[in-house]
Amino acid sequence: MSQCEELASRQVVDRDMSDLPATTCRKLRGVDATRTSFARASFANVWLEESTFASCDFGRSDLRGLSDHGNRFDRCTFRHTQFGHAALGYQGSRYVDCTFERARFGGTVFARAVFVRCDFVDCGIAGIDFGASRFTDCRFVGELNEVFFRGRFASPQMTDRFGAPEGRPVLKVDFTGATLHDVTFSGGLDLNDVQLPARPGYFLFDDWPGRLQMVETALAASDREAIDTFVNAFASRDSQMHQIISRDDLDAWFGSPVAERLLSALGPPTKSSGPAASGFA
């Protein structure tokens, strides 16, 4: 019996399946693996469905192009794992108490994965849309660039296709060790339980639609172009009641003087990661 056939036909416990060429399987369904090493294994372009992995090691595994459907991963580690162009979280796949360390997600598509008590450490997450994924008691360390967190899918058509996301749209994450650049929060996502990055310059605002109105009315006509750019950038998120703003992003987009006036016009933040900016005191 080949390793692929073994995976698909019986419970696998305390096995070393390092370097497994699972790509020869094409499709795996009903895998039940516990305390098994898949280090350096290749699941590239494999359709993986309704499977369970507990305390498994996927270190340096190749999961590029993996299609993840209704699976569960408990206490698994993904160190230096390649997820490039994978499709994760279809049918609400769950990742519980997992560690993603220096994993790479370039081009990965997320549907409605559920992450509970997971750590994402130095994964260089960039250009990623997490779709309608849920994050509860998760931690991000390192840089996040051009990332979308959503409370729901971007369109009703996507909800019809992939199904409604699980539970309330609450983002409960610890960003204290992270740096956020051009990170977007939308779709009615509740950010009350977010821990902001430790470094100064991040601000959490509530009543976001009202804050945008304040910006439109508070700034002088000389700032009209900046006002229009800022408000239009966030206008499609008017159902979003909370927003996190990075001072570094505002400086990069508008220059420091205009950024200062925009922050002042938004009013006192609900939470701040560092000393209050001018106008908040």
Task: Give 45-95 pLDDT, tens digit per residue.
Answer: 999 999 999 999 999 999 999 999 999 999 999 999 999 999 999 999 999
pLDDT at 276: 45
d(CA 165, CA 159) in angstroms, rounded, equals 8
* Residue 233: band (very low, low, confident or very high) from pLDDT cuts 50, 70, 90: confident
Measuring CA to CA, which residue among 174, 189, 181 is closest to residue 247?
181
Tokens of 247: 């001072």
pLDDT tens sequence across 266-281: 999 999 996 544 444 3
Query: Residues 6 or more apart from 259 whose CB is under 8 A from it?
Result: 247, 250, 251, 253
Tokens of 103: 């994993």
The pTM of the full predicted model, rounded to 2 decimals, is: 0.92
Dihedral sign for Cα atoms in the order 186, 268, 265, 177 = negative
pLDDT tens sequence across 132-178: 999 999 999 999 999 999 999 888 888 988 888 988 899 999 999 99
- The residue assigned the tokens 């993603």 is 100
Percent of the chain with pLDDT over 70: 94
DSSP string, 55-121: S-B-TT-B-TT-EEES-EEES-EEES-B-TT-EEEET--EEES-EEES-B-TT-EESS-EEES-EEE
* Residue 225: band (very low, low, confident or very high) from pLDDT cuts 50, 70, 90: confident
pLDDT at 277: 42
Is pLDDT of 236 > 60?
Answer: no
pLDDT tens sequence across 9-52: 778 999 999 888 766 678 899 999 999 999 999 999 999 999 99
Is pLDDT of 259 > 80?
Answer: yes
d(CA 139, CA 207) in angstroms, rounded, equals 25
Is pLDDT of 238 > 70?
Answer: no
Q: Over the chain, what is the mean pLDDT? A: 91
